[in-house]
Structures are given as structure tokens and as C-alpha cells.
A and B are shown apart, each in its own frame.
Chain A
Amino acid sequence: MGHGSGGRMTQELIQQVFQPHLSAPELLAGNDFAELSVASVKGKLAVSTDSHIVFPLVFPGGDIGRLSVCGTVNDVAMSGAIPLSLTAGFILEEGFSTSLLESIVISMEDAAKEAGVHIIAADTKVVEKGKADGLFINTTGIGWIPNGLLISGSEAKPGDIVLVSGTMGDHGIAVLAARGELGFETEIRSDVAPLNHMIRAILDVAPHVHVLRDPTRGGLATTLNEIACQSRICITIEEDRVPVQSAVSAACEMLGFDPLYVANEGKVIVIVPETEAVLALKAMQNNSYGQNAAIIGGVSESPASRVLLKTRIGGTRILDVLAGEMLPRIC
């Protein structure tokens, strides 16, 4: 508990665990604030905040540290913004391993470097044993939106094309597997990744992108429904065209899950006018995080606020949002 007292032990924790890795000048300055110069910013600022809780804290392909940086970087980038800086708030459960904490901080540092952002302010609190589940991390991100971009969930237009940047459901299944809940072993890794560079590459060739959104909790189906409702349009996707790793679809088959509802942490949905669709696709495919990108469907006027799925065998059905928790089936 002493590590959260604000006294010498807190200082030690900061100096020994955080500062060797999180070393932006704003942090090392030791103030209670970070200064940001906004004079050079042309356009608008984008801000996003997200609290990260995941069990287990370390899973194949990532950990809560990488997740907490990528999640917020991606949320900022989904506005078309260039992410600049992050803040991080840590809530630690008493007795949490310092070496595990350090490895998580290192992975935050790595993810931030990869994304090209600085962690400029941070805070740590320690709560009594049993009052938290190991470690929670909140990150807030800020970025600037270059002039001329108008990207929002409400901007999808009839005639637009819908793309995804890769295979669906990897993160959710990797985390389930790491919990030992599958009852079998898999080699599925979480896709957790910062997507801001890929999004820049898309916008360079397809500047009229209407919607960017990452299909995290609730998966592709739920996220498409959010967009369909916000834009009051209909999105139709083709089951055959949605990329899903065969190991993920096999795991889902066995458990009675649908990969279209399983979380992703390194994928983006792109909705773009038809004229720029192939350019956007190529830009994604040229990026290491978008090699399996695909065109999966299109936008039409009606039925408004609905998502439809053309099934593999030629039927059409509603693709609804997930009602609450995804529950495995019986038989």
C-alpha cells in the first residue's frame, strides 16, 4: 500500500519502474501537468479516453500495456487525426508484482514508440488487496485532425463501399484461450496493434473516407450496426467476403460463437466512396496490419439503420447487435 501513499515509496516506484521506460521530457519534468504547444496545430483536436481491464493481463500477442496504448491511439486515429500524446492512469492492486508491472510498462513504451506518440502525463494509485483485479489502466489520447477531413459514424452514404483491414475475431478468441476457457489449445494471437500509420496511408490515397471505426467489443456486427444507426442507412455485407482465420472460425464453431461478434483490437472498418475503395484497399494491403484487408459490402438507403448479411448460400438476413454477453450454446 505504501507505493500509493504519495511519499517516498511512490517516488521509488516511479523512478524504478516507470521512468526508465516512460521518459518523455514532460514526464521527467516531475510536474503535476504537461504542457502542450497548440500554436502549430492547424485544424481541430481529437481527444479520446478509455479504461482498460482485461483478464488475463498478458495474453498471446499482447498484454494490458500494449492494449491500453493501442486502444486509445486507434480511437483517436478513427477521427482521421494524427495521435500526438497520451496520458496514462494506473490503478494497482496491493501486492501486484513489480516485475510484471515493469514488463507491462515496457510494452506500453514499445507500442507508443511504434505509434509515434509520447506518454506525457501519468498517475498511479494503489488500492487494497481485493479492491481491484491486479491492474487497471486508463489512457487518454490527443491528436490533431488535419483540415478538410470529415470522418464520423454518421457520414456513411448510399453507394459507399465497406472494407475491413483483416481477419475478424482474433483478439477475443486469443483472450478466451488464454483464460483456459476453450478447453483446447490454439495458436491464435491477439491482433492488438496501433493502426494510426495505416490510417494515414489510407487517407493519403482516399481522402474522402466517410467512416473509420475499430470493431472492438461486440465485434464487426455490433460496430456496423452503430454506424448504420448513426448514418440512418443500410449496410449489406457478404458473409463469404469477411476474412476470418480458419482457427478462429473453428474455435467459434465448437463454442457456438459467431466471429462477427467477437472483439478485435487491431482492425478498422473503412467506409469510403466507391471511387476510392480500391485505393483504400491497396493502401491497407500494403501495410503489415492490413494484409488480409477486404471489401466486404456496401451501403444503401433502406432499410435505414439496419445491417444485412448475404449468406454464403444466397439467403439474406439481419445482422443484429449483440444482446448483452455472448453466451456459448448448449448442443
Chain B
Amino acid sequence: MRYLDEFRDAELVKNIVGEINRIVTRPWVIMEICGGQTYSIMQNGLDQLLPSQIELVHGPGCPVCVTSLELVDKALVIASLPDVIFCSFGDMLRVPGSQGDLFSIRAKGGQIRVVYSPLDAVKIAQQNPDKQVVFFAIGFETTAPVNAMSVLQAKSMGLTNYSILVSQVMVPPAMHAILGSPSNRVQGFLAAGHVCSVMGYWEYPAIAEKYRVPITITGFEPVDLLNGVLMTVQQLEEGKHEVLNAYTRVVSKEGNVPAQRILNQVFKVCDRNWRGIGMIPKSGLCLLPEFDDYNAEVRFDVGRIQTKESEICIAGQILQGIKKPPQCPAFGVFCSPENPLGATMVSSEGACSAYYRYARNESVKA
């Protein structure tokens, strides 16, 4: 496939790995922010190709994983209502709430539909005027513009039966939270290419400067990821801490300005609770008050939710790069993709799921 095969080229991969080996002189801890990157690393076995001095730790960039338990529970309540069609990206269906998941609601007769885009949910709302259609608007800055667009579209169509349950989060505040934590181990970042394609990377120089960490905007294919690692290691070895773009075919400094405009038209910055991590100030996006009619939390009475999180799961430490999945006592024992204790075991972008699927057997590494 054009534009993909070039970035999966075995020869190029070998050359970049050779170059990393040549320049690395001591151990470095590098975090890839995005769960999509974690998955690609594990799926392609990239971690095995890198010199032992380079440790990749996995970041919080899995929207399914960080969606707060309270919001998951609210989703379960709303999806159980008889006149609701609840629309979601597929990944959310298996995420455990305090009691059950969306799959279990579907099995009990709840109308739950997997959609690829919130605009499909708007279409469903148009076709089902006697039902309330709710879209679970989760994600980072990548999904925010299209989720915002769905609200604008529903408004312009005069739909009164469409609303969104918002769990939008943002990357830069999470980077601040990780780097500002006393237990931080991260020395360099691979920034999430898709998030930057929307937002650009004008927000990052301040972070690089404040914490003196190099940040490389990185894509998702093997060549992209290794190139990101190489550029980060180069900076680390030279004692630099700049923001570099290793994903120029997709990302510009200013990002997708029209998309940002739509985002700002519908959302405002708010504090947000991250599952496993806790409250991060100004790390989320919420609907502006003028869009209350499209806010599922306003439309449905879901105020009094009592949440109950697994006591064993260490997803929070994994999402902050403090621990790795095999260090969890439940990993592969009580916790598996079929019976997940935490969301990191569910999502195809979750670190635990990536380890479980691709590297739970130590002999693979030999």
C-alpha cells in the first residue's frame, strides 16, 4: 500500500536502528504519548530491535483508558434507558464500569450501536425522531473537532434528540502532570502525531523548556517511530531539549486551523478526572453552556453515581509510565482482555492489552 509500505521498510528500519546503536552511550527513558504508538511498537516488535539502554515507557494517550469511571457509569445508565440509542466507538464497549460494561447493557436489551464517526450518530438521530440518540464523545484533540462538528450539524438540522456525553481530554496538561510528578522517570517524549495534526505543536516548546526534555512529534509506522526515537536520543546525547517534528508529512506547527476553530466554537477548557490518574486541572474540554441542549449530562439525570474501582488494578501507574504491565500482580492472572479489571486491558490502544496480546511470553524476547 502506498504511503504505508515505505514506512514499514525493513532495510530503512535496520539503518535507523544501526544509527541509534551508534550514538547511544547511556540509558534513556523515553515515553511515547499515544496508545496507537504503544500498539505499533508492540505489534511490530520494535522494542526488541532497540539497544538495551533505550527504555520505552507508555503514556496516557489512550482515550478509552483515561475516560473516568464516573463517565463510564453514566454511559451505562443512559444506555440502559428504554428510549435511548447509545452510539459509541467500538473500543468503549468492553470497558468495565463499576457494574458491567456496555456489552452487558446490550445483552440486556439496551440499544447500543458502534459507529465510526459521530456524524453517523447524527444520521441515526435524524432517522429515529422518536428516540434519544446519545454519542459517547471520548478522545483527545484528535476526535474533538469531529465531535464538535456533530453538535453543530445536529443544531443546524434542528434535531432535538441528539446529545453527546463528553469525555474529551488534552495531551499537553497530561505531559505537565507526568513531568511535574516526583516519581517521573521520563527524559524525552515522542509526541502523538495525530493529536499534533489537529493542534500543531506550538504548545510544546514551553513544556520542553520548563522541564528541559526533548520532544519529537512522531508518527505511527515502524520507520516513523524509530526515527522519532533516533531524533530524541540524538538530543538527549547532545544535552538538548528542543521540539522537533519527525512527522512532517502530516503535522505542521500551527496544525489544522479550521478544525481548531470548530473545536473552540463548541468546547471550552475544563478540569477533568483521568481514570487511574485523578484530577488534572484544565486538562479537558466541555461543552459551552449555549450547547446545554446537546449535553447528555444535562439532558439525563445521571448526577448521583457511586463508582467502585478495582483495588488491584495499577492502570494509573502504567498510564504515567511509572510501572509496566507485567509488574502488575493481576496481569494475565485475574486480568485479561476477556475479563479486564482496568481499561488499559481493554482498548486496542491500552498498554496492558498491547503487552497481553503481543509480548506476554518472555521467550518472545529471547
Contact = CB atoms under 8 A, between A and B. Distances in A.
B45 A315 contact: yes
Among A308, A318, A331, residue most surrounded by chain B Cβ atoms (within 10 Å): A331
Given A253-B1, A324-B94, A328-B91, A313 B139 contact: no
Among A246, A250, A316, residue most surrounded by chain B Cβ atoms (within 10 Å): A316
A320 B356 contact: yes
Given A255-B116, A318-B359, A330-B143, A313 B93 contact: no
B49 A314 contact: yes
B114 interface: yes
Q: Summarize B's interface: helix, strand, loop or mixed.
A: helix
A32 to B, nearest CB: 38
Contacts of B333: none
Contact of A314 (B14, B103, B194, B359): B14
Given A255-B116, A308-B364, A324-B94, A329 B349 contact: yes
B73 to A, nearest CB: 20
Contacts of A38: none
Contacts of A318: 357-361, 364
Contact of B348 (A253, A256, A306, A314): A256
Interface stretch (B36-44, B177-185, B260-268, B282-290): B36-44
B44 A315 contact: yes
A19 interface: no
A130 interface: no
B196 to A, nearest CB: 12
Interface residues of A, number: 29
A331 B61 CA distance: 11
Contacts of A331: 36, 63, 139-140, 142-143, 194
A45 B1 CA distance: 46
A323 B89 contact: no
Given A253-B4, A327-B91, A329-B91, A312 B44 contact: yes
A214 B91 CA distance: 28
Nearest to A331: B142
A311 B43 contact: yes
B101 to A, nearest CB: 11
Nearest to A306: B361
A181 to B, nearest CB: 8
B359 A313 contact: no
A10 to B, nearest CB: 33
B160 interface: no
Given A253-B1, A306-B361, A312-B44, A328 B49 contact: no
A303 interface: yes
A308 B364 CA distance: 8
Among B10, B47, B194, residue most surrounded by chain A Cβ atoms (within 10 Å): B10
Interface string B78-118: 00000000000111011000000001000000000010110
A314 B9 CA distance: 10
A330 B91 CA distance: 7
A312 B91 contact: no
Nearest to A250: B1
Contact of B363 (A303, A313, A325, A329): A303
Interface string B1-44: 10010001110011000000000000000000000100000111
B178 to A, nearest CB: 20
A303 B361 contact: yes
A256 B364 CA distance: 24
A317 B43 contact: yes
Interface in B307-339: 336-338
Nearest to B4: A253
Contacts of B358: 317-318, 320
A302 interface: yes
A325 B72 CA distance: 20
Contact of A330 (B44, B338, B349, B359): B349
A307 to B, nearest CB: 10
A249 interface: yes
A317 B45 contact: yes
Interface in A255-269: 255-256
B222 interface: yes
Q: How large is the interface on B (under 10, 10 to 19, 20 to 34, 35 or more residues)?
A: 35 or more
B45 A327 contact: no
Contacts of A314: 10, 13-14, 45, 49
B248 interface: no
Contact of A327 (B44, B48, B94, B360): B94
Contacts of B89: 328-330
Nearest to A322: B337
Contacts of A249: 1
A255 B336 CA distance: 23
A330 B49 contact: no
A155 to B, nearest CB: 24
B138 interface: yes
Interface in B221-238: 222
Contacts of A246: 1
Nearest to A318: B358
A183 interface: yes
A313 B10 contact: yes
A327 B103 CA distance: 12
Given A249-B1, A316-B48, A328-B114, A302 B363 contact: yes
A188 to B, nearest CB: 15
A310 to B, nearest CB: 8
B46 interface: yes
Contacts of B13: 313-314
B64 interface: yes
B45 A316 contact: yes
Contacts of B9: 313
Nearest to A234: B363
Contacts of A181: 116
B167 to A, nearest CB: 12
Given A312-B8, A327-B348, 4 more contacts: A313-B13, A313-B49, A317-B359, A320-B357
28 contacts: A313-B9, A313-B10, A313-B44, A314-B10, A315-B44, A316-B48, A317-B358, A317-B359, A317-B364, A318-B357, A318-B358, A318-B359, A318-B360, A320-B356, A323-B337, A324-B94, A327-B90, A327-B114, A328-B90, A328-B91, A328-B114, A328-B116, A329-B90, A329-B349, A330-B91, A330-B143, A331-B139, A331-B143
